[in-house]
Each structure stands twice: as C-alpha cells, then as structure tokens.
Amino acid sequence: MRSTAALFAVSTLVSSALAATYPLKDSFVGQGFLSGFSHQAIPDPTHGRVNYVDQPTALAQNLSFATDNTFIMRADSFSVVDPSAPGRNSVRIQSNNQYTTHVSVYDIRHMPQGCGTWPAAWELGQNWPAQGEVDILEGTNDIEPNQSTLHTSANCAMPASGLAQSGKAVTTDCDVAANGNAGCGVQATAPNSYGKSFNGAGGGFYAMERTSTFIKVWFWSRNDPTVPADVKTAGATVNTDAWGTPEALFVNDQCDINAHFGPHNIVINLTFCGDWAGLPQFYNTLGNCPGTCNDFVNNNPSAFNDAFWDIAGVHVYE
C-alpha cells in the first residue's frame, strides 16, 4: 500500500509539472498600456524611415490613445516628411515587466497596413542577441501571410520539416550572423493572418507559449469557431494543451532554448522601409508600391491612414 501511495504521489507531481495550465500574471487593456508599457523614443535598430516618439508626444499628436477597452497606436498620416528628418513619426512600446516561461495572448482588432509599413508584435531580451528574440506577428508591405521567427546567437537551428505545426518552415538557421539575420522563420498558411486580410476579417488572436524546451505560436482569425474560450475571453488561467496544433513550433533538437533565450520584454511597433520593408521587398509587393520606399514614406501621408494598431488586450500568463 505504501508503494502504491508513493507511486500515486509521484504520478500526481509529474502530471502537475507537465500540465499546460498557466495563471494570469499581467493583463494590459486600454489605459493599462500607458502604465504597463513605455514608449521608446529611440533610433530604429532596423534602420527604418521612422521617428519613434515618446509618450507625451504620442498622446499630444494623437498617435497613442486609450479608452476603457481599446489601445490605439499609429503613424502620423498628416505630415510630409523632410528628407533631412529622421523619418515619419510612429510609436514603439515595450513592456515594463519581463517574462521567461510564459504564455502571451494578443487580441488585435486591426494592424498597420500599407506600402512601406513594417509592423511587429514580438518579444526580446535586453542583451540581444544573446537572450534571443521571438517574432510573433510580423511582415511588410501588406505581403501575406504572417511569419513567426526566432533570432538568436550562434548554434541554434530548426528542422526544415517533420514538426507538428500548420505553418511552413522557410528559413532554419536562427543565428543573427547567418543569412542576413533572416532567423528561423515559419510562414502561416492562412492569408488572413496578416495585413489587409487580417483587418478585413476583424483581426484575430495570436498566442505564444515559451518553455525551456519549445516555443509555440498560434493564430485564430476573429470569427474562427475554433478559437479557444480562454483565448477569446481572458480569464484567470489558460490551458495550452487544448489549443490544438500551433502555427509555428520551435524545438530543442538543434537549439538549447533555455541557453539562447533570457528574460523578455514584449514590444509592439510600427516602422517603415529599413532592413526588410525597403529593397527588395518594396518592389516585390503585390499592388506595386511606387517609387522608392523612403520617398514614398516621406511624401504620401494619406497612404498611412490605415497604418495603426487597434489592440483589445495583451494578457500574460506565467
């Protein structure tokens, strides 16, 4: 009887340790973004045609504003930009708190769209690239679908196939020093995971689970009947075991995830042109973005009327 009881106790401990249920740590809704995140008025690390403004400037210029259940951040869509200026005014925010093993859920009604745009929702460590980067929602120039990507220091790679994910691996070396910092990326299968199609469907939900041995990214369109209840409505816990096959799965086989990823801040931003949205992406855009990317961004303010984030909430479970 003792051995049976001991075995049951061990089994219970193992089951508890493996359970994918996480309690709520932080919930950012409306005004919570103004207190839980900092506006980063910094030079763009990706060399974009952008001028990131601080929070007082963003609020004064209506580039950031919040209601009880909505947070908006957007680009200046009124001004012609002097070629000698840093770039078009925009917003980049970073969470004040950091996270390691956790789940983050993003409820987004609208994301920036348009020629020259490069929006992203992502997480990274302060010591980059040693502490890694996870790009959850990212793309350029309205080119669908979404791509989720890891960027790391050396000796981290992902299999080209054979993983239990719905997306397609497009690059496999996560090292920032390889392949022009392409990272190891997985392209989603659903066009409405990004850009105009995402917005046309009313947005949707992104979620990322990070452990010491894997990183997963999920996407559900707004009216997808398979959206889990604990994703659709933020509550006290989430259970990732019930979420089905992820869009992207990054595993430990050829990468020590625990060694390559440290404490992360959440970042949401909108830049223009730069290292990815400029050449050659700008010319490859469906719809044929005209001229050069920098000139287009400088001289066409009304083209950025739809270059805004409308975020219902970001919820972190730990």
In the 3-class helix/strand/coil scheme, how is 98-126 assigned residue by residue?
CECCEEEEEEEEECCCCCCEEEEEEEECC
Neighbours of 116 (CB within 10 A): 33
Instruction: Kindly report, residue by residue over 164-200, the tens digit of the pLDDT.
Output: 999 999 999 999 999 999 999 999 999 999 999 999 9
pTM for the model: 0.92
pLDDT at 285: 63
Confidence class of residue 278 from pLDDT cuts 50, 70 and 90? confident
pLDDT at 18: 45
**What distance in Å separates the CA atoms of residue 95 and residue 36, rounded to the nearest whole number?**
6
Instruction: Kindly report, residue by residue over 115-174, the tens digit of the pLDDT.
Output: 999 999 999 999 999 999 999 999 999 999 999 999 999 999 999 999 999 999 999 999
Q: Which of 3-7, 129-133, 230-234, 249-253 has the lowest mean pLDDT?
A: 3-7
CATH of domain 22-146+190-240+265-317: 2.60.120.200
Q: Where are the domains of the chain?
A: 22-146+190-240+265-317
Confidence class of residue 286 from pLDDT cuts 50, 70 and 90? low
pLDDT at 290: 85
Residue 122 CB partners (closer than 8 Å, separation 6+)? 133, 134, 135, 136, 137, 138, 266, 267, 268
Average pLDDT score over the chain:
92
| Whether residue 280 has pLDDT greater than 80 | no
* Residue 209 known to be catalytic: no
| Whether residue 5 has pLDDT greater than 80 | no
Q: Hunting for tokens 């990212």 — which residue is that?
A: 138
Neighbours of 243 (CB within 10 A): 20
pLDDT at 291: 86
Active-site position among 138, 144, 209, 247: 138
> What is the mean pLDDT of the segment spanning 213-236?
98
| Selection from 164, 165, 170, 126 nearest residue 150 by Cα | 170
User: What tokens appear for 207 in the block?
Assistant: 């979620």
Active-site position among 133, 144, 209, 318: 133
* Residue 138 known to be catalytic: yes
Instruction: Kindly report, residue by residue over 39-72, the tens digit of the pLDDT.
Output: 999 999 999 999 999 999 999 999 999 999 999 9
Confidence class of residue 284 from pLDDT cuts 50, 70 and 90? low
| Whether residue 9 has pLDDT greater than 60 | no
pLDDT at 297: 97
